[in-house]
Chain A
Amino acid sequence: MTEIQTLTFGIVALTFGLYIGIAIWARAKTTSDFYIADGHVHPIANGMATAADWMSAASFISMAGIIAFAGRDGSAFLMGWTGGYVLLALLLAPYLRKFGKFTVPDFIGERYYSNGARLIALFCAIFVSFTYISGQMRGVGVVFGRVFDMTVTQGVLVGMAVVFFYAVLGGMKGITYTQVAQYCVLIFAYMVPAIFISFQLTGNPVPQAGFGGQLLDDGGMLLSKLDGVLTDLGFTAYTLGSMSTLNLFCLTAALMAGTAGLPHVIIRFFTVPKVKDARISAGWALLFIAILYTTAPAVAAFARYNMIQTVNDTPYTEAPDWVKNWEKTKLIAWVDKNEDGKMTLAPGAAFKGKKPIHTDPVEFGSAGQVLLTNEATDNRNEMHVDRDIMVLANPEIAKLPPWVIALVSAGGLAAALSTAAGLLLVISTSVSHDLLKKIVMPDISEKQELFAARAAAAVAVGIAAYLGINPPGFVAEVVAFAFGLAAASFFPAIIMGIFWKRMNREGAMAGMVVGLVFTASYIIYFRFVSPELDVAENWLFGINTKGIGTLGMLLNFVVAIVVSRFTPPPPQEVQDLVENIRIPAGAPESSGSH
């Protein structure tokens, strides 16, 4: 093993040991422990746990990479994934906490006085969670693959074994306290290299300021230098967008509403003692998230700048080690089109096909590069750089010490595992509580329900591992899918359930079904059935698959309102329930109130 591998192995083993230790200490004894950590989590701890739960492999590994390549268009992810918390804090969290039950399908089922509505919500929760979890598992695979020269399969299995242990044993209680630890690991791992690199490039250790600062080497502003270098190479300037305003708007809105509608995030607000604590928790959560989210765009700009400076026009024989290391994992590839031995960066794909395919057995070119069987394209670009590697490769690109590189791997794993655990919990709760206890076998005992929850978590781990080994696409792409679905299904039903007393069973169910079916079929059609048709001319109103959740959400609202107008109003006791959740006083203890 190399020095980096040994260090990484040490740090990862240490953090995994910590997570397992916490799981044993905080193991769940009752269903209330398992579902909502007995409703006694301190708001600051809950804020950290929510932040870790929320910040997934997509936030940690992919986001800065996407922004690095998308420039200003990447802002949609930054605003969308933080602005959603404002909606959550103001429109959902306090009321759902006052409601005082365990899950989102619970709320939908009671508010819309119907097991049919509960089943639809249950289906949405499970579907969204599995979509999201497969994104996390690819993240785990990427980290293990690069660091330990493991196959993705082996990497996913190790990761799942750890999650299995603490999610199945500890339930929400175990997950909450592990997530607090994971937040600390991931934020430290994100900030250390960012501070180093900011200082190296601009002399300012605060990345948020260094981002808008002057470069030490030539005195120009980083952002204007970056704009200049990119335009010279034929790219769009970094601070200019190329997405249409409508698409940017829709993508941002889908990410915001999706954030507020994600069941694994909402469920966290059931774990605090009071309504007031639910509001405060959301404040802490966003503060903890904002630390990473305001750093990410700085990391993105530094990474793009550093990458161009070290790679473009550099002979392959003099390429830094990281190029060759990532080349082995097929996340970097070089096609020497003009046969000058130098790596050229330009807009467009370097070759045809989505991923580089190595010759079998592997053959090497004259400079020592791995040869591909892909057909070369006729543009000038010779480099394929996978967006998912930018954060992981960033410390290597900036020549930071090996322990920083090792730390980043541990951080990426913490981000992926914490989110995967939160999602697994939603799946297992949905099955044991919403499906078994509330619909199929109401007479089930507490002990049996707890057993069912653990069994469901175990099955879900297995399915998640399968999805991780056979991932359906890029981390962020898959995750964006989950957001579109959450925005189009849950968000309107919950909002109207709280803010419009007249909304009834028929309206909510029709809205959820239409929103979900519309959004899912649009995405499945363009991404999986006919990807060749996925171009602007064919899109509905010019909205792409990532932003379509916004349209699905509007459809959901409209259908729900129209249908409820033509059907009887909800019964008096449901209207009283709505009155009741609007007032903080008299919130039930969230434990054992079911």
Chain B
Amino acid sequence: MSDNTHAAYWAANLKILGVLLSIWFIVSYGCGILFVDQLDTITIPGTGFKLGFWFAQQGSIYVFVILIWVYVALMAKLDKKHGVEEA
């Protein structure tokens, strides 16, 4: 493999990481800690959950699980595109 595709693969990888880690930060540190009081003024309809509290104790964890599986899928596609997947 040439150094060019190598660099392109790495750049695409970093972009995926950047997007996924931003979501990771927003749902946990953002919704669960920094803006929890603002979000707590909203109650999820039909439940006793205040929104910020829900993100801190439930929602962030669901998003984390989804993030890893999205990463697995995106990377599998990227490996294939750049021809760097394992035999």
**Chain A residues packing against B (C-beta within 8 Å):** 67, 72, 74-75, 78-79, 82-83, 85-86, 89-91, 94, 208-209, 211-214, 221-224, 239, 241, 245, 248-249, 252-253, 274-276, 279-280, 282-283, 286-287, 290, 293-294, 297, 579, 582-587
Convert B10-53 into 0s and 1s, putting 1 for each residue whose CB lies closer than 8 angstroms to a CB of A: 10010001001100100011001110100010001001111001
Bound: A139/B87 CA distance, A: 45
Pull 17 A–B residue pairs with CB atoms less than 8 Å apart, ordered by A.
Answer: A75-B33, A75-B53, A79-B60, A83-B28, A86-B20, A90-B71, A212-B54, A213-B47, A223-B48, A249-B29, A276-B76, A276-B85, A279-B75, A283-B68, A583-B9, A584-B84, A586-B86
Q: Is the Cβ of B29 less than 8 Å from the Cβ of A85? A: no
Q: Is the Cβ of B54 less than 8 Å from the Cβ of A583? A: no
Q: Which of B21, B83, B86 has the most CB of A within 10 A?
A: B86
Residues of the A chain whose Cβ atoms lie less than 8 Å from the Cβ of B76: 276
Residues of the B chain whose Cβ atoms lie less than 8 Å from the Cβ of A85: 64, 68
Q: Is the Cβ of A279 less than 8 Å from the Cβ of B72? A: yes
Q: Which of B33, B68, B84 has the most CB of A within 10 A?
A: B68
Q: Is the Cβ of A86 less than 8 Å from the Cβ of B67? A: yes
Q: Is the Cβ of B34 less than 8 Å from the Cβ of A585? A: no
Q: Is the Cβ of A72 less than 8 Å from the Cβ of B86? A: no
Contact of A75 among B9, B57, B67 (CB under 8 A): B57
Q: Is the Cβ of A252 less than 8 Å from the Cβ of B28? A: yes
- Shortest CB-to-CB span from A281 to chain B, Å, is 10
- Shortest CB-to-CB span from B68 to chain A, Å, is 4
Residues A297 and B57 in contact in the complex (CB < 8 Å), given A245-B34, A582-B10, A584-B84: yes
Bound: A586/B6 CA distance, A: 14
Q: Is the Cβ of B67 less than 8 Å from the Cβ of A290? A: no
Residues of the B chain whose Cβ atoms lie less than 8 Å from the Cβ of A223: 48-50, 53
Bound: A274/B20 CA distance, A: 23
Q: Is the Cβ of B85 less than 8 Å from the Cβ of A584? A: yes
**Chain B residues packing against A (C-beta within 8 Å):** 1, 6, 9-10, 13, 17, 20-21, 24, 28-29, 32-34, 36, 40, 44, 47-50, 53-54, 56-58, 60-62, 64-65, 67-69, 71-72, 75-76, 79, 83-87
- Shortest CB-to-CB span from A575 to chain B, Å, is 13
Q: Which of B1, B40, B53, B87 has the most CB of A within 10 A?
A: B53
Q: Is the Cβ of B58 less than 8 Å from the Cβ of A294? A: yes
Q: Is the Cβ of B28 less than 8 Å from the Cβ of A90? A: no
Q: Is the Cβ of A248 less than 8 Å from the Cβ of B84? A: no
Chain A-chain B contacts (Cβ-Cβ < 8 Å), number: 135
Residues of the A chain whose Cβ atoms lie less than 8 Å from the Cβ of B67: 86, 90
- Shortest CB-to-CB span from A255 to chain B, Å, is 11
- Shortest CB-to-CB span from A549 to chain B, Å, is 16
Contact of A279 among B21, B28, B50, B71 (CB under 8 A): B71
Contact of A293 among B40, B61, B83 (CB under 8 A): B61
Residues of the B chain whose Cβ atoms lie less than 8 Å from the Cβ of A83: 24, 28, 60, 64
Contact of B61 among A209, A275, A280, A290 (CB under 8 A): A290
Bound: A586/B48 CA distance, A: 52
Bound: A484/B44 CA distance, A: 35
Bound: A213/B71 CA distance, A: 33
Q: Is the Cβ of A90 less than 8 Å from the Cβ of B65? A: no
Residues of the A chain whose Cβ atoms lie less than 8 Å from the Cβ of B28: 79, 83, 252
Residues A587 and B34 in contact in the complex (CB < 8 Å), given A223-B49, A252-B29: no
Closest to B67 in A: A86
Q: Is the Cβ of B65 less than 8 Å from the Cβ of A221? A: no
Bound: A252/B68 CA distance, A: 19
- Shortest CB-to-CB span from A72 to chain B, Å, is 6
Residues of the A chain whose Cβ atoms lie less than 8 Å from the Cβ of B17: 90-91
Residues of the B chain whose Cβ atoms lie less than 8 Å from the Cβ of A74: 57
Contact of B20 among A78, A90, A241, A294 (CB under 8 A): A90
- Shortest CB-to-CB span from B30 to chain A, Å, is 11
Q: Is the Cβ of A579 less than 8 Å from the Cβ of B49? A: no
Q: Is the Cβ of A212 less than 8 Å from the Cβ of B47? A: yes
Closest to B44 in A: A212
Q: Is the Cβ of A283 less than 8 Å from the Cβ of B34? A: no
Contact of B6 among A287, A583, A584 (CB under 8 A): A583
Closest to B25 in A: A83
- Shortest CB-to-CB span from A24 to chain B, Å, is 34
Bound: A279/B68 CA distance, A: 8
Closest to A78 in B: B57
Residues A208 and B48 in contact in the complex (CB < 8 Å), given A83-B24, A91-B17, A252-B29: no
Residues of the A chain whose Cβ atoms lie less than 8 Å from the Cβ of B40: 239
Contact of B86 among A82, A222, A274 (CB under 8 A): A274
Residues A294 and B61 in contact in the complex (CB < 8 Å), given A249-B29, A279-B75, A584-B85: yes
Residues of the A chain whose Cβ atoms lie less than 8 Å from the Cβ of B49: 211-212, 223
- Shortest CB-to-CB span from A576 to chain B, Å, is 12
- Shortest CB-to-CB span from A294 to chain B, Å, is 5
Closest to B70 in A: A283
Q: Is the Cβ of B33 less than 8 Å from the Cβ of A252? A: yes
